Amino acid sequence: MKIGIAGGGAFGTALGVALAMDGNPITLWARNADAVRQMTETRTNPKLPDVTLPDRMAFTAETTDLFTNDILLLAIPSQTVRDFLTTHRDHLGGKQLVACCKGIDLERMTGPASTINALVPDAIAAVLTGPSFAADIARGLPTALTLACADDAMGAILQTALSTTALRLYRSTDTIGAELGGALKNVMAIASGVAIGAGLGDSARAALITRGFPEMQRLAQELGAAPETLAGLSGFGDLVLTCTSKQSRNYRYGLALGAGEAFDKGTTVEGAATARAVRQLAKEMDIDLPICTVVADLIEDKTDVASALNALLSRPLREE
């Protein structure tokens, strides 16, 4: 099956490198024609320094080249998925659409697989998520991810097509759990960065990770996810990685927030939008999600770090 990738960022490019190095011809579409020209001529992407793009990767700024493929990996920001699907839905019917982004649609409060199902119902929707950094994947370092697809037979086909020597995929039918785990851990990564950036220490970060995980489970289960999914790669595994490494954009954003420093506005921070969506969901569904709520308030300058810490520490004492 032919594989195309929508998105010329670090993660989409890294997936293309891994799949091409394993012998698959890959077509990567990027919106920016100059970026496409640079990748074609230099076989490099500035977002992945020191990585040579394989000859089996072709680059295009024309969507018509992308739609000739059977499997499309959507490695675009989660908040742009709806627009992409709406614009191109006439070309996406019958395709296998694999969302490789992590976030919640602020308009409909749904994850990317749910958005695919709503807008392109005759396509196969899947989610590829889990503990991974683009640089590690592009360098061929061992990485394990979750491939979630409600159609298990098609999930098995995708699992085989997208697995490589170093990229190991574990299959699930719980798309809701997989997409929520990948989205919610970004909020906890921001909280962890805030703790370290504000000088609260590793013990405070450990407490946030530990108490944040039940929040993720609580909301995910309310929305129909299986609890065991959140305990796997797409939930707990990704949570640990992104809350402890400066390779995580969300963690770095939290560091800047906690330290009161500016952050590059050109860097995509999926957890910021997700935090706002989760705060709204918590209110509508009457679910107690204190860490997610505090993160959303911090992002919008509705509170400061000292007040946020005080709000969390002044909660009633209870059993674990």
Amino acid at 39: M
Rounded-to-integer distance, Cα 77 and Cα 104, Å: 10
CA-to-CA distance for 278 and 293, rounded, in angstroms? Answer: 8
Cα 79 to chain centroid distance, Å, stands at: 11
Catalytic one of 2, 95, 102, 185: 185
> How many other CB atoms are found less than 10 A from the CB of residue 281?
17
Is 185 an annotated catalytic residue? yes
Contact between residue 148 and residue 172 where contact means Cβ atoms under 8 Å apart = yes
**In this structure, what DSSP letter does residue 145 have?**
E
> In the structure encoding, which two tokens stand for residue 218, read together?
């609580």
Alpha helices in the chain (DSSP H): 10-21, 33-42, 63-66, 81-88, 112-119, 134-138, 152-162, 175-197, 202-222, 227-230, 238-242, 249-259, 270-285, 290-299, 305-313
- In three state form, how does the secondary structure of 53-73 look? CCCCEEEECCHHHHCCCCEEE
Q: How far is CA 178 from the centre of its chain?
A: 10
308's CB contacts (< 8 A; 6+ apart) are: 194, 294, 297, 298
3-state secondary structure of 296: helix
Tell me the angle at which helices 270-285 and 175-197 cross, rounded to the nearest 10 degrees.
Answer: 110
Q: Give me the helix-helix angle, 81-88 and 112-119, nearest 10°.
A: 20
Query: Hey, which residues are catalytic here?
Result: 185
